[in-house]
Amino acid sequence: MFPQVLERLEWNYTRSKRSDFTDRMVDELYRKGILLMRWHVAGDVFSPNYARKMLEIIGRSPHCTFWFYTRSWRVPTIFPIIKSMSIMPNCKVWLSADAETGYPPDIPDTCRVAFMQTEEGEDTEEADLVFLDRPLRKLSLPMLNKVCPTETVAGKERGTSCATCKVCWS
């Protein structure tokens, strides 16, 4: 929606397609002493070639712990590479699902499932973590122990943040 954000995302995308992207990322993560990195605040694993680049960067950056959420488990040419990332000791993979996608038919032991709940009563049984659509955040839903604490009233009152919660990368 916002031109500055779109411009930045376009810049990120073109960088990710460069032939030296992998070397540059490995170098930057090392030089800046990055210990935790979440991929794709906006975006996803968009091609097998990009997935292979991610795999290489993770493998060459053992000092850093990575995590990401992805809906690309639905793409047969990408999912095997996502599985390879998930078995790396410094990478946590979340398969994203919602009522529209349903749950992944094949959930490797090394992956967890994050469910985006948009309506009350949706099936969150198979989810390891639940994110709530904004209108649901004010409600006291069951299974609160699975809901991202920054999205619950109780979590907000406690002042929980990703830094104190750590569920996604541990």
Chain residues in the site for ligand SF4 (CB under 6 A): 129, 148-150, 162, 165-168
Nearer to ligand SF4, 107 or 165 (CB): 165
**Nearest residue to 104 (alpha-carbon basis) of 87, 82, 120:** 82
Shortest Å distance, C-beta 93 to ligand SF4? 13
Measured at the CA of 70, the angle between CA 65 and CA 75, to 5 degrees, comes to 130
Shortest Å distance, C-beta 127 to ligand SF4? 12
Shortest Å distance, C-beta 78 to ligand SF4? 23
Nearer to ligand SF4, 43 or 59 (CB): 43
Cβ neighbours for 81, distance < 8 A, ≥ 6 positions apart? 45, 48, 51, 52, 54, 55
Nearer to ligand SF4, 38 or 74 (CB): 38
Shortest Å distance, C-beta 114 to ligand SF4? 8
Nearer to ligand SF4, 85 or 147 (CB): 147
